[in-house]
């Protein structure tokens, strides 16, 4: 209806009113197909659904071979979530238009909504022959959706590749291709395919974006950054490209380049909490915590419930030596998100700094229980106990850790505890076993007991087990 001017809309409204009056007398006059279609649209827009359906039935009675009227009725029923009735309408149309593309496409969609994906694929196969290029692209897009629902991600990838090859402007196809590539793990093929698309159109920013994702998954980080930079150079509003490029610069330790990318993202798109937080992290990594704090505070103005931003502010306070302020924001972070072990570890560190040992112990314990598979949480927990002279408890924590994670560092730290508890013979025996199993990690023992570097017995064992390289 949007394409009609005010006079045309008034005319359609009058036709509908006249139709209602005539239908009450069961005398509906003949109308052209296009007029019926406009009347149905008018009733649909005005939420006169029963009337719209009645007009559709009368229209089909007058034009029994009109594909457009059957499609209009079927889509109207689909919009009303009446899938079975819509399917009946489509099947009626197929009796006189058995390989009509739009009817077949809708038939497949309806079968998919009923969970009959294999039947839907058969229907799509039947209408492929007569499909135009654009129709074929839409067909393969729907086929990809069916394969996704079936969990057949490699076939989903193939269908999307065909869809985009036929129409490289198919926006939805690019979005789905990101997931299809990830699900099927066909990253190398994705790189080749999107490079072929770019050979056809070098200004296709969506292809550059997808190429970047595939290169990133292959750990070709510089190539990925280049692709993302092309994407946002072509479309300055491509937020995903800015975020991915900035993240990769951070990963590679190039915080200044990351900073520039995030600043451009704010300038060309919009200022949001996540970009401000990332920008703050860039400054923090460049040893500029005051500027970092400025951006973190701005991020909180836009999202006051972001635990990571509070955590980063806490890290800045730790840098400033403001332990109590750090405790406040770390605690806030753990309230918002109690499943991040890093939050508890740093909260414990702040408590430790302020000699609140009971609270520090509790926070280290929470960190270990939150991420029992993370050896660093256990080592920090046990290391705290060891440092405050509770070697027996530290030894017990390390034994508990072995129920969740296997790592030679745990054994070496246990040896440190044994040495401190005066169980020297046992410690040296277990040290010889540990050195034979994993020599390189013996530095964990020295981290806890640096004095052993000067111990002759220790040095003799080290020399005995030191591998030849």
Any domain includes 139: no
- Residue 302 contacts by C-beta under 8 Å, 6 or more apart in sequence? 271, 272, 273, 276
Tally of domains within the chain: 1
Question: For residue 242, which of 257, 224, 228, 256 has the smallest C-alpha distance?
Answer: 228
User: Residue 469's pLDDT is what?
Assistant: 57
Domain that holds residue 436: 388-469
pLDDT of 260-286, one tens digit each?
999 999 999 998 999 999 999 999 999
Chain center to CA of 148: 17
User: Residue 49's pLDDT is what?
Assistant: 77
Any domain includes 424: yes
Any domain includes 144: no
Any domain includes 162: no
Taking the CB of residue 347, how many other CB atoms lie within 10 A of it?
Answer: 26
User: Residue 395's pLDDT is what?
Assistant: 98
Tokens describing residue 369: 């229980």
In this structure, the chain runs to a length of: 469
Can you give the three-state secondary structure of the chain, one letter per residue? CCCCCHHHHHHHHHHHHHHHHHHHCCCCCCCCHHHHHHHHHHHHHCCCHHHHHHHHHHHHHHCCCCHHHHHHHHHHHHHCCCHHHHHHHHHHHHCCCCCCHHHHHHHHHHHHHCCCHHHHHHHHHHHCCCCCHHHHHHHHHHHHHHHHHHCCHHHHHHHHHHHHHHCCCCHHHHHHHHHHHHHHCCHHHHHHHHHHHHHHCCCCHHHHHHHHHHHHHCCCHHHHHHHHHHHHHHCCCCHHHHHHHHHHHHHCCCHHHHHHHHHHHHHHCCCCHHHHHHHHHHHHHCCCHHHHHHHHHHHHHHCCCCHHHHHHHHHHHHHHCCHHHHHHHHHHHHHHCCCCHHHHHHHHHHHHHCCCHHHHHHHHHHHHHHCCCCHHHHHHHHHHHHHCCCHHHHHHHHHHHCCCCCCHHHHHHHHHHHHHCCCHHHHHHHHHHHHHHCCHHHHHHHHHCHHHHHCHHHHHHHHHHCCCC
Global pTM value: 0.84
Any domain includes 258: no
Alpha-carbon distance of 277 to 279, in angstroms, equals: 5
Any domain includes 408: yes
Any domain includes 447: yes
Segments of the chain scoring below 50 in pLDDT: 1, 25
Any domain includes 38: no
Question: For residue 245, which of 267, 223, 270 has the smallest C-alpha distance?
Answer: 223
- Residue 409 contacts by C-beta under 8 Å, 6 or more apart in sequence? 375, 379, 441, 444
Taking the CB of residue 275, how many other CB atoms lie within 10 A of it?
Answer: 23
270: left (phi over 0), alpha (psi -120 to 50) or beta: beta
Alpha-carbon distance of 347 to 384, in angstroms, equals: 13
């Amino acid at each position: 209806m949007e394409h009609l001017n005010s006079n045309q809309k008034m005319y359609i409204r009058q036709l509908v009113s006249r139709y209602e009056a005539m239908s009450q007398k069961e005398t509906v006059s003949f109308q052209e197909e296009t007029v019926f279609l406009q009347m149905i649209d008018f009733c649909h827009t005005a939420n006169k659904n029963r009337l719209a359906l009645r007009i559709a039935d009368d229209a089909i009675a007058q034009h029994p071979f009109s594909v457009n009227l059957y499609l209009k009725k079927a889509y109207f029923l689909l919009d009303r979530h009446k899938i079975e009735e819509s399917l009946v309408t489509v099947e009626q149309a197929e009796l006189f238009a058995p390989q009509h593309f739009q009817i077949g496409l809708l038939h497949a969609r309806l079968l998919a909504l009923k969970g009959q994906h294999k039947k839907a694929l058969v229907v799509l196969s039947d209408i492929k022959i007569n499909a135009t290029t654009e129709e074929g692209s839409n067909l393969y897009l729907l086929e990809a959706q069916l394969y996704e629902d079936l969990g057949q991600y490699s076939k989903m990838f193939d269908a999307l590749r065909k869809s985009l090859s036929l129409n490289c402007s198919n926006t939805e196809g690019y979005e789905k291709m990101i997931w299809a590539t990830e699900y099927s793990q066909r990253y190398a093929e994705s790189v080749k395919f999107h490079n072929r698309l770019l050979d056809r159109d070098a200004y296709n920013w969506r292809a550059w974006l997808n190429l970047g994702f595939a290169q990133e998954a292959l750990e070709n980080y510089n190539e990925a950054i280049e692709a993302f930079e092309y994407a946002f150079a072509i479309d300055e509003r491509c937020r995903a490209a800015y975020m991915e490029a900035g993240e990769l610069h951070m990963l590679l330790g190039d915080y200044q380049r990351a900073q520039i990318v995030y600043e451009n993202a704010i300038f060309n798109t919009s200022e949001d909490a996540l970009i401000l937080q990332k920008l703050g992290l860039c400054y923090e990594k460049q040893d500029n915590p005051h500027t970092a704090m400025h951006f973190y505070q701005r991020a909180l103005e836009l999202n006051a419930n972001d635990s990571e931003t509070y955590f980063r502010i806490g890290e800045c306070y730790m840098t400033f030596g403001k332990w109590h302020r750090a405790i406040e924001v770390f605690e806030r972070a753990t309230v918002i998100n109690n499943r991040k072990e890093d939050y508890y570890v740093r909260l414990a560190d702040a408590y430790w700094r302020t000699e609140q040992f009971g609270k520090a112990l509790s926070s280290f314990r929470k960190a270990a229980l939150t991420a029992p598979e993370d050896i660093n949480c256990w080592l920090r927990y046990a290391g705290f106990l060891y440092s405050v002279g509770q070697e027996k408890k530290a030894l017990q924590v390390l034994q508990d850790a072995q129920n969740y994670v296997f790592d030679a560092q745990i054994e070496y730290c246990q040896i440190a505890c044994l040495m401190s508890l005066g169980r020297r013979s046992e410690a040296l025996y277990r040290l010889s076993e540990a050195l034979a199993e994993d020599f390189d990690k013996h530095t964990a023992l020295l981290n806890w007991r640096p004095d052993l570097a000067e111990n002759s017995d220790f040095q003799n064992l080290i020399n005995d087990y030191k591998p030849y390289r």
